[in-house]
């Protein structure tokens, strides 16, 4: 296996709120290889966005702080990078697309202005060349009348167009890694299909690695090679798309997939996971999912489950698959976790 | 065949665009443009469409929360558009609405007790003891506890807040509830809890829902019949099995193929529509969808297709089928 282009090891990002420390990200490890699309899935508050902000060193400090862990991009440890070094990487080698295309563009500047700024920060080109390049980029992401749109303001564009502009901006310096934080959540399905198609082409043609953060398992199925499922600040399961969606192991992943209404089949009643997501806290012992889990037993409340690994890279954080702990024999046909 | 509880015919809602120094009307946004459908008693009618297609405006115009420009809305035979505001207020007891955003639709300065009991007070339950009892009962019906009544909205999670919104809508035993994107602000695992609750309540209280949403899989799950809207008009309306197995209108087909499915093994034809939804202030002539339609013919640019029966109870507005 070659070195991953981006690797996150044991990342802990805490927030200080009301004099209490909240471990929003609690020991997350993720690897992203060249040309790969990895999805991070989870519900609101599970720490998926904070993970991506931590990678970009964009966690507001205070109240947020990376207390532990290592983020390696092509061998460089970003946690030690100075702000100046980070600026060279951000937008140039690692780019990010945010959820809300409305708020991530400056309403006071034209589209061209904002694109040209991003290009000229990282590349030594004249304004005129940068503008021509911007038009080229806008064409590339499928914006009609690109030469007029460069001189327009964000409010003159629709949501889908704005997200295309964001992608154009993110692609302007040919980044090796693209972090997309819920890129299509604010968009309609037909527009979402267009944007996903665009991202898929970028990945295929330029071998850009994509870290896709989403709550939508449908989007994951269409885009990703591998999936990381997060719950309450921790990775609970990792595997290939097929493994996760077809054969989920962790009770949370299972519940999540079962609670999706399916457009293909008709069920009388939807499955629902009882209760709501717990807020992560430092003094909590035991599995975070135990209060909502129908399989929970004593160990789940007393100890923190470890992330169990299979050789193929499949991982799951659950005592049910731990032979020493589980009394229920769920592991009998699943002996390969170590 | 059961009787229609709600009949909407040729409903229109145009918003004026004001401009110039005197604020003269310089144009109109045709948010809802000639919408007709009926809802039978005890049925769930789903309305889907993308943002800006007028589905929420339609929901609010039906309750006259915004005054419709033209057309009629009949509830159990009474034409709502003829009623005075006092008569309308009386009738709203029977027609309620649940809003999309559980964070914005509850007054943050009121306790749950007051939020739920306000509709009771307005509709004549004078005794405070009775109201307290009823609030307690309602909270239990929607799966909350009686002690939640003394809390403020910010102390609840999104799903719980939506439950409070449902309790408030149920307070006066309505017959019809218009649900305007009730689950789109919620996480998947909570979404299914609310959907199940809404189904249970329908059975228990013989409710009728008009369920407005943009998520096709949610609408498919909960509805009996589904209508698809595009640019203020209904383009297709039929029962959900026919709609999902045999969609007729090119827009419906594109919409269905665009929904990502959480199954990596499904291979299917993908129709990716070009461009965006046109602006409702300047809708295309003829069929509103012709600018993005892969099958557009000459007639589509000129003549607006009628909303007609194609098969048995399968209404489509498209020239391909006429």
A10 close to A264: Cβ distance less than 8 angstroms: no
Interface residue of A212, A270, A271 to substitute, partner B, most B CBs within 10 Å: A270
What is the distance in angstroms between the Cα of B254 and the nearest Cα belonging to chain A? 7
Dist CA A206 CA A175 (whole Å): 9
Which is higher by pLDDT, B165 or B53? B165
* Beta bridge partners of residue B92, listed in sequence order: none
pLDDT of residue B118: 92
B210 close to B39: Cβ distance less than 8 angstroms: yes
Instruction: Render pLDDT for A265-303 as a digit per residue (tens, 0 to 9).
Output: 666 677 888 877 777 777 778 888 888 888 888 888 888
**Of A190, A217, A272, which is closest to B254 when you measure between CB atoms?**
A190
Interface residue of B53, B260, B275 to substitute, partner A, most A CBs within 10 Å: B260
DSSP notation for B31-42: EEEEEEEEEETT
Whether residue A259 and residue B244 make contact (CB cut-off 8 A), yes or no, is: no
pLDDT of residue B23: 77
pLDDT of residue A333: 47
Q: How many helices (H) and strands (E) does chain B have?
A: 10, 12
List CB contacts (< 8 A) between B270 and chain A.
193
DSSP state of A90: B
B136 close to B159: Cβ distance less than 8 angstroms: no
Whether residue A218 and residue B260 make contact (CB cut-off 8 A), yes or no, is: yes
Residue in chain A closest to B187 (alpha carbons) equals A43
pLDDT at A90 over 60: yes
B278 close to B291: Cβ distance less than 8 angstroms: yes
Whether residue A189 and residue B258 make contact (CB cut-off 8 A), yes or no, is: yes
> What's the ipTM?
0.77
Residue in chain B closest to A142 (alpha carbons) equals B275
pLDDT at A80 over 60: yes
Instruction: Render pLDDT for B21-66 as a digit per residue (tens, 0 to 9).
Output: 777 888 888 889 889 999 999 899 999 988 778 888 899 999 999 8
Nearest to B307 by CA among B254, B249, B263: B249
Whether residue B273 and residue A193 make contact (CB cut-off 8 A), yes or no, is: yes
Whether residue B258 and residue A193 make contact (CB cut-off 8 A), yes or no, is: yes
Domain ranges of chain B: 4-94+174-321
pLDDT band at residue B109, thresholds of 50, 70 and 90? very high
**Cα A48 to chain centroid, rounded:** 6
Dist CA A333 CA A324 (whole Å): 15
At A92, list the tokens. 């140039």
Instruction: Render pLDDT for B72-86 as a digit per residue (tens, 0 to 9).
Output: 999 988 899 888 989
pLDDT of residue A39: 93
What is the distance in angstroms between the Cα of B96 and the nearest Cα belonging to chain A? 24
- Helix, strand, or coil (residue B310): strand
List CB contacts (< 8 A) between B263 and chain A.
221, 245-246, 264
Domain B4-94+174-321 architecture = 3-Layer(aba) Sandwich (3.40)
pLDDT band at residue B280, thresholds of 50, 70 and 90? confident
Whether residue B191 lies within 8 A of chain A, CB to CB, comes out as yes
Average pLDDT estimate for A216-237? 90
What is the distance in angstroms between the Cα of B194 and the nearest Cα belonging to chain A? 9
Dist CA B54 CA B47 (whole Å): 10
Average pLDDT estimate for A40-67? 86
pLDDT of residue B1: 52
CA distances from B251 to A21, B55, B107, B243, B247 (A): 50, 16, 39, 12, 9
pLDDT at A330 over 70: no
Dist CA B190 CA B222 (whole Å): 15
First CA to last CA distance, chain A:
20
In terms of DSSP bridges, do strands A37-41 and A226-231 run parallel, antiparallel, or are they unpaired?
parallel
Residue in chain B closest to A270 (alpha carbons) equals B192
Interface residue of B244, B262, B279, B292 to substitute, partner A, most A CBs within 10 Å: B262
- Helix, strand, or coil (residue B299): helix
List CB contacts (< 8 A) between A277 and chain B.
157, 187, 189
What is the distance in angstroms between the Cα of B74 and the nearest Cα belonging to chain A? 31
Whether residue A43 and residue B188 make contact (CB cut-off 8 A), yes or no, is: yes
Nearest to A183 by CA among A158, A204, A205, A166: A166
pLDDT at A332 over 60: no
- Could you tell me where the beta strands, DSSP code E, fall in B41-130? 44-48, 70-75, 78-79, 95-98
Task: Give the up-direction half-sphere exposure of residue A34: CA atoms within 13 A in the CB hemisphere.
Answer: 7
List CB contacts (< 8 A) between B262 and chain A.
217-218, 220-221, 245, 257, 260, 262
CB atoms < 10 A from the CB of B150, how many? Answer: 10
First CA to last CA distance, chain B:
27
Interface residue of A149, A276, A292 to substitute, partner B, most B CBs within 10 Å: A276
**Of A192, A242, A276, which is closest to B157 when you measure between CB atoms?**
A276
Whether residue A267 and residue B221 make contact (CB cut-off 8 A), yes or no, is: yes
Average pLDDT estimate for A122-146? 87
List CB contacts (< 8 A) between B278 and chain A.
none
Sheet containing strand A76-77, edge to edge, reads A20-32, A6-17, A64-73, A76-77
Whether residue A220 and residue B258 make contact (CB cut-off 8 A), yes or no, is: no
List CB contacts (< 8 A) between A241 and chain B.
264
Q: Which residues contact A247 (CB under 8 A, 6 or more apart)?
A: none
List CB contacts (< 8 A) between B187 and chain A.
43-44, 215, 277
Nearest 10 degrees: CA dihedral of B60, B64, B67, B72?
100
Dist CA A205 CA A216 (whole Å): 25
pLDDT of residue A329: 47
Whether residue A221 and residue B199 make contact (CB cut-off 8 A), yes or no, is: no
Dist CA B145 CA A65 (whole Å): 38
- Helix, strand, or coil (residue A195): helix
Whether residue B245 lies within 8 A of chain A, CB to CB, comes out as no
Average pLDDT estimate for B15-19? 83
The residue to which tokens 């030690």 are assigned? A80
pLDDT of residue A210: 93
pLDDT of residue A187: 77
Q: Please, what sign has the CA dihedral across residues A183, A189, A190, A193? A: positive
What is the distance in angstroms between the Cα of B251 and the nearest Cα belonging to chain A? 10
Average pLDDT estimate for A220-228? 91
List CB contacts (< 8 A) between A245 and chain B.
262-264
pLDDT at B2 over 70: no
- Helix, strand, or coil (residue A81): coil
Instruction: Render pLDDT for B214-246 as a digit per residue (tens, 0 to 9).
Output: 888 889 889 999 999 998 889 999 998 899 888
Interface residue of A101, A160, A188, A219 to substitute, partner B, most B CBs within 10 Å: A188
pLDDT band at residue B131, thresholds of 50, 70 and 90? very high
B293 close to B277: Cβ distance less than 8 angstroms: no
Cis, peptide link before residue A63, omega less than 30° from 0: yes
CA distances from A279 to A255, A282, B317 (A): 19, 10, 49
Dist CA A209 CA A199 (whole Å): 10
Whether residue B239 lies within 8 A of chain A, CB to CB, comes out as no
**Of A158, A260, A271, which is closest to B262 when you measure between CB atoms?**
A260
Whether residue B263 lies within 8 A of chain A, CB to CB, comes out as yes
Dist CA A179 CA A55 (whole Å): 9
At A109, list the tokens. 């500047």
Dist CA B284 CA B301 (whole Å): 8
pLDDT at A2 over 50: yes
CA distances from A291 to A295, A301, B27, B158 (A): 10, 9, 56, 19
Whether residue B262 and residue A217 make contact (CB cut-off 8 A), yes or no, is: yes
B278 close to B288: Cβ distance less than 8 angstroms: yes
């Amino acid at each position: 296996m070659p070195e991953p282009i981006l690797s996150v090891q044991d990342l802990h990002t805490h927030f200080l709120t009301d004099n209490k420390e909240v471990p929003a990200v609690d020991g997350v490890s993720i690897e992203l290889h060249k040309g790969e699309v990895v999805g991070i899935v989870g519900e609101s508050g599970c720490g998926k966005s904070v993970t991506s902000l931590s990678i970009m060193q964009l966690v507001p400090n205070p109240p947020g702080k990376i207390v532990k862990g290592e983020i390696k991009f092509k061998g460089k440890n970003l946690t030690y990078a100075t702000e100046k070094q980070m600026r060279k990487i951000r937008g140039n080698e690692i780019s990010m697309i945010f959820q809300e295309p409305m708020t991530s563009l400056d309403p006071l500047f034209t589209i061209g202005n904002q694109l040209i700024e991003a290009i000229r920060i990282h590349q030594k080109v004249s304004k005129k060349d940068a503008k021509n390049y911007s038009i080229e980029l806008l064409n590339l992401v499928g914006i009609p009348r690109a030469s007029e749109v460069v001189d327009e303001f964000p409010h003159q564009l629709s949501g889908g167009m704005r997200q295309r502009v964001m992608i154009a901006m993110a692609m302007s310096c040919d980044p090796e890694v693209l972090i997309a934080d819920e890129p299509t959540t604010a968009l309609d399905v037909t527009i979402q299909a267009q944007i996903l198609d665009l991202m898929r082409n970028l990945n295929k043609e330029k071998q850009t690695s994509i870290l896709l953060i989403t709550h939508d398992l449908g989007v994951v199925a269409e885009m990703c090679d591998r999936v990381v499922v997060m719950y309450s600040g921790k990775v609970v399961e990792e595997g290939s798309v097929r493994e996760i969606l077809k054969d989920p192991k962790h009770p949370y992943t299972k519940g999540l997939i079962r609670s999706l209404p399916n457009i293909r089949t008709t069920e009388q009643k939807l499955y629902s996971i009882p209760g709501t997501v717990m807020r992560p806290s430092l003094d909590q012992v035991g599995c975070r999912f135990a209060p909502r889990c129908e399989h929970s037993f004593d160990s789940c409340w007393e100890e923190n489950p470890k992330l169990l690994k299979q050789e193929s890279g499949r991982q799951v954080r659950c005592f049910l698959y731990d032979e020493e702990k589980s009394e229920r024999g769920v592991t009998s046909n699943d002996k390969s976790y170590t | 065949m059961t009787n229609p509880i709600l009949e909407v015919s040729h409903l229109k809602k145009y918003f004026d665009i004001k401009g110039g120094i005197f604020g003269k009307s310089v144009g109109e946004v045709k948010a809802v443009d000639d919408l007709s459908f009926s809802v039978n008693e005890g049925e769930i009618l789903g309305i889907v469409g993308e943002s800006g297609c007028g589905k929420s405006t339609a929901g609010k115009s039906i309750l006259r929360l915004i005054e419709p420009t033209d057309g009629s809305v009949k509830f159990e035979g009474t034409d709502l558009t003829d009623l005075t505001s006092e008569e309308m207020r009386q009738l709203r007891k029977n027609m309620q609405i649940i809003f999309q955003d559980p964070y914005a639709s509850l007054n943050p300065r009121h306790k749950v007790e007051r939020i739920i009991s306000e509709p009771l007070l307005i509709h004549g339950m004078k005794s405070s003891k009775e109201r307290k009892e009823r609030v307690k009962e309602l909270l239990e019906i929607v799966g909350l506890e009686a002690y939640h009544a003394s809390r403020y909205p910010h102390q609840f999670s999104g799903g719980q807040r939506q439950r409070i919104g449902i309790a408030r809508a149920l307070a006066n035993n309505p017959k019809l509830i218009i649900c305007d994107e009730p689950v789109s602000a919620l996480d998947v695992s909570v979404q299914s809890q609310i959907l199940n609750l809404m189904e249970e309540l329908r059975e228990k209280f013989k409710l009728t829902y008009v369920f407005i949403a943009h998520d096709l899989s949610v609408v498919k799950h909960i509805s009996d019949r589904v209508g698809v809207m595009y640019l203020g008009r209904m383009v297709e309306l039929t029962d959900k099995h026919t709609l999902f197995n045999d969609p007729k209108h090119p827009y419906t087909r594109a919409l269905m193929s665009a929904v990502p499915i959480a199954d990596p093994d499904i291979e299917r034809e993908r129709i990716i529509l070009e461009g965006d939804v046109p602006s409702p202030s300047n809708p295309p002539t003829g069929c509103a969808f012709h600018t993005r339609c892969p099958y557009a013919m000459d007639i589509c640019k000129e003549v607006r297709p009628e909303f007609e029966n194609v098969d048995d109870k399968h209404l489509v507005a498209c020239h391909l089928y006429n």
